[in-house]
Amino acid sequence: MRGLLKKLLNAGVTDNMSFKSMVQLRAMNAGLGVGIVFSTLAISLTLDSLLFTVHLLSLSALLLAALVLNITHHLTLSRSLIIIGLLAWLTECSIGFGPSLGIENYFFVVLAAMVLFVPKNFGRIIHACNITILYLGVKLWQQSHAPYYPLPALHQVLYIIAVTNSCLLCAFLYWNLLRDMGEYQNTILRGKETLRNSNELRDKMLSIIGHDLRSPLNSLKGSLTLLESDQLTPEEQTLVIHELNERLEKSTEVLNSLLAWSSQNYFTSSSSMVKHEVPLDIHQMAAHVLEFYHDAAQKKNVSLENHVPFGTQVIGDHDQVLFILRNLVGNALKFSYNDGNARVKVAIAHANGMTEISVSDNGTGMKEDIRKNLFNLDKRYTTAGTMNEKGTGLGLIFCKEFIENHGGKMQVDSIPGKGSTFRFSLKTVHNTASYKAKPIAQ
């Protein structure tokens, strides 16, 4: 029953309508529905008066026809039928039955409906003037002429029904308007939330680009400054140029990966992160990331160790997993001591069909309060590294989001002065013969 009433209330409503048009049409449907119900109720009380019953049947038919036109999306014809047909019916009944039933008071209901339904102010003024003149004419006629039709025996009951009908109709229209305004406000709030999330995702993407390209570009700047100093021998210049070429290739790889995110729509309109899961050779990916940081590790005299067995495969998004590994290794290197004993290790462990990947170091470690707020966007830390390396404090937050996008969690163990270990899990590929892991671009 409730579903049927909702369908009738939304008869003729389409998604491309404006909010105002929806409110007008729903209010009109509500008024037609209430009018049909009460005119039918009045018929059951006036069966002794055939003439009055015929008038009520004609009213019910008029209202039902307008509702059917709304259902079939003939909205203009429906409005015209209501305006002309209802005014004609009210005029005829007010003159025929006289003032005892108070039918002429429904002119005010029609006047209110015209103000609600007519879109332009000029049209509202015209209809208001016409209805007012018609109402005054009917009242003058009632004062100078006797009713043409005999009143039904229950005319007082009918008068009460008419008044009650008017009050309930106005209350129903007011409630419907408030409900639609609430829905419209919720739509605006949802739109604002979607826009806010889109802006946040845009800012995150820009932060990722800055985060991943800052270190390589700073390294390139240093090498170019060294070349401009004219203090290098030809052999040294050749070596620096070779290093520049390698760093440019790495920077280009990072940039291509970020551009791939944009072209593949990693962030959807619903503000949820998309992942393209494929089998990944985690040993190869770890080796690739460690090679990426080879030069930086040499400068800090840090040993980079890949303890992932050959052929270890997991299921995950290539670019997101590569981003996670690159950031975790970069952070471990950043907080490693330059004392000749530092090491950064990538290792795995298997449990419950999952492969746990860990990145550990024996560097500075962190205090408990810092560890607890490590992934808090509002309290992110940007602690400088052991050689004053800078960061944005966003890399680990992105890593956490990517890991959660794979259905996992980031675990962190850290002891001040002894180092840190970051762990996350991915699904293990057991039948490697049926998969071919995505290769790492060289």
CA distance 62 to 46: 19
Q: Are 305 and 311 in contact (CB under 8 A)?
A: no
**Of 175, 194, 213, which closes a domain?**
194
Asked whether residue 251 is assigned to any structural domain, the reply reads: no
Are both 414 and 321 inside the same structural domain? yes
pLDDT at 284 over 90: yes
Grouping H, G, I as helix, E, B as strand and the rest as coil, residue 314 is: strand
Are both 70 and 163 inside the same structural domain? yes
Token pair for residue 281?
């050779």
Asked whether residue 12 is assigned to any structural domain, the reply reads: yes
Asked whether residue 263 is assigned to any structural domain, the reply reads: no
Are both 156 and 39 inside the same structural domain? yes
pLDDT, mean of residues 49-63: 81
Query: Residue 374: pLDDT band by 50, 70, 90 thresholds?
Result: confident
Residue 264: per-residue pLDDT? 46
The string of DSSP codes covering 390-411 is ---S-HHHHHHHHHHHTT---E
Are both 281 and 382 inside the same structural domain? yes
Residue 260: per-residue pLDDT? 52
**Of 159, 176, 194, which closes a domain?**
194
Number of neighbours of residue 356 by Cβ within 10 angstroms: 17
The model's pLDDT over 95-118, given as tens digits with 9 standing for 90+, comes to 888 887 777 877 887 777 776 666
Asked whether residue 266 is assigned to any structural domain, the reply reads: no
Are both 283 and 185 inside the same structural domain? no
Total of domains in the chain? 2
Asked whether residue 207 is assigned to any structural domain, the reply reads: no
Asked whether residue 370 is assigned to any structural domain, the reply reads: yes
The CATH number of the domain holding residue 388 is: 3.30.565.10
The model's pLDDT over 106-154, given as tens digits with 9 standing for 90+, comes to 788 777 777 666 666 777 788 788 888 888 999 899 888 888 887 766 6
Are both 299 and 430 inside the same structural domain? yes
Are both 13 and 149 inside the same structural domain? yes
Residue 406: per-residue pLDDT? 87
Which residue range(s) make up the domain with 50? 2-194
**What's the angle, vertex CA 272, arms to CA 268 and CA 275, rounded to 5?**
80
Asked whether residue 383 is assigned to any structural domain, the reply reads: yes
97 CB-near residues (< 8 Å, 6+ apart): 52, 103, 147, 148, 149, 151
Give the pTM. Answer: 0.48
Asked whether residue 216 is assigned to any structural domain, the reply reads: no
The model's pLDDT over 323-364, given as tens digits with 9 standing for 90+, comes to 899 889 988 998 999 888 889 999 999 888 899 999 999 998
The model's pLDDT over 169-221, given as tens digits with 9 standing for 90+, comes to 566 556 656 666 666 677 788 888 878 866 776 676 666 666 666 666 777 77
Residue 431: per-residue pLDDT? 59
**Of 169, 194, 219, which closes a domain?**
194
* Residue keyed to tokens 């997101």: 320
